Structure 1
C-alpha cells in the first residue's frame, strides 16, 4: 500500500513538473509575443504629398463635423497643389491614393463608420450606381436623397446642411463636392472609382 502511495505521489510530481515546464514554455512564448510591434491606436497620417493631417484628425476626433468637412476640402486642394477652387476631373482621377485613404480612414474612424468616401461609395453601389467614373443620373439622384443632400426635388444648400451624426449615413464629407452640380456628381463618381 505504501509503495502504491509513493508511486502515485511520484506520478503527481512528474505531472506537476511537466505542467511547470509547459507553463514556462508558454510564458517564454508570451514574452516573445510581447516584443512584437503591435499597431498602436495612433492614427496613420500618411501622405504622398507631405500633407499634415493633424488638424483634420483633431477636428474629427472632437466631432467638429462642419470644420472637418472644410478642412477635408482644404487638404484635398493642397494634395493636388492648389489653394482654391473645385477639384477638377483630372485631379480627382489622379488624387494621391495614400492621401485619399488617410482622409477616408479618419472620417470613418471618428464617425464610427457613418461618414467617409468609402461609406458613400458603398451607398452608391448599393443603389445601383457603378464605380466606373461615369455619371449615372438615376443613381446620383437616389444617392443625393438617401444622404439628405436633396429633399424631394430640392437641393439643400451647403450652408443649410446639418453637421452632426443624426444625419444619414454617408452625409459627410460634402464640401469637396461643392461647385456646379456637374462638379458635385462627377466628383463623387471619380472618387468612387478609386479603391477605398
Structure 2
C-alpha cells in the first residue's frame, strides 16, 4: 500500500508537495462582530448578480479581496472553481469568528457558530453553478450513501484516486494539480468544495452534519436503515473489506 498524504490542508508548509492557495490576512474592514466567536452574517449584505463581463476575475483580485457571496458568485459563474474553492474556504474562516480569522483556519468546534442560512447560501451558489453536482448538500448525500465511512466517501467524490497497481489501492490526490477543476459534469458528484482533513475528519463531519443540510436528505438516506444494514454485516467481513481497498488511518 502506498503511503498516503493528508488531504487538502488549509495552510500546508510551502516546502511540501501539497501546497494550497495562501489565505489573506484577516480583513481589516469596518465590519463588526457580535462576539469573539460569532461573525456577522453574509446575508446582511445584498448579493449582487455575477458580473456580465466576459473576462474571469483575475487571480490578484480573487485572492486579495475580502471574501463575499458576490465574489463567490462571480468566480462560480466564470467557471473558476479553483478560486471559488479558495473563496469558500475563506468565507468559512470569516463566518467562524475572530479567533478563526486570527489563526487562519476553522476549528471543528467553531462550525456550530456559522448560521444555517449562511451555509445554505454558500451551498446554493455551488449547486446552482454545477447543476446540483457540487456543494455541501451534494457531499452530505454522497457521505450518507457511503454509510458515513470517510474513506469510501473520499473515493466516491474523487478525493482519492485509484493507483495503477495489481491490487486495488487508493491514494489521496495532491492539491491542486490532481483535483478536477474543469466542467462540473467531468467530476464526481460532491467533488467540490474541498475541506481540510489535515487534522482529521472532525471539521468535515461537523460541516456535513450541520443543521443547514438536514433537508438535503431523502428517505433513501434514513440513517437507522444504514445502521440496520451495518448491524447485519459481520464485523470481520466489514473490516476485511475496508482493509482490502483502503487505508483507514486518519491520524494525518
Alpha-carbon distance in 1 for matches of 2:199, 2:171: 12
**Structure 1 gap segments, 5+ residues each:** 1-45, 130-138
Tell me, what secondary structure is at the counterpart of 2:176?
A: helix
Deviations 1:41-64 (A, max 9, x none): xxxxx7257573100011111111
State the TM-score, normalizing by the size of structure 2. 0.51
Instruction: After TM superposition, give the deviation of residue 76 of structure 1 in Å.
Output: 1.1
> In the alignment, which of 159, 162, 186 is matched to residue 202 of structure 2?
186
- Structure number with greater Rg is 1
Q: Does 1:115 align with 2:134?
A: yes
Given that 1:149 and 1:155 are in contact with CA atoms closer than 8 Å, whether structure 2 keeps it comes out as yes
Q: What corresponds to 2:119 in structure 1? A: 100
Alpha-carbon distance in 2 for matches of 1:98, 1:72: 15
Deviations 1:89-128 (A, max 9, x none): 1112332211101100110011111100000000111121
Q: What corresponds to 1:90 in structure 2? A: 109
> In the alignment, which of 80, 87, 90 is matched to residue 74 of structure 1?
90
Q: What corresponds to 2:145 in structure 1? A: 126
Structure with more helix by fraction: 1
Q: Does 1:54 align with 2:70?
A: yes
Q: What corresponds to 2:172 in structure 1? A: 155
State the TM-score, normalizing by the size of structure 1. 0.65
Given that 1:127 and 1:143 are in contact with CA atoms closer than 8 Å, whether structure 2 keeps it comes out as yes
Question: Measured at CA, do residues 90 and 181 of structure 1 come closer, stay the same or move farther in structure 2, by a change above 3 Å?
Answer: closer
Deviations 1:8-53 (A, max 9, x none): xxxxxxxxxxxxxxxxxxxxxxxxxxxxxxxxxxxxxx72575731
Instruction: After TM superposition, give the deviation of residue 167 of structure 1 in Å.
Output: 1.1
Structure 1 runs (4+) deviating above 6 angstroms are: none
Alpha-carbon distance in 1 for matches of 2:130, 2:87: 16
| Cα RMSD for the two superposed structures | 1.9
Given that 1:72 and 1:173 are in contact with CA atoms closer than 8 Å, whether structure 2 keeps it comes out as yes
Aligned residues: 138
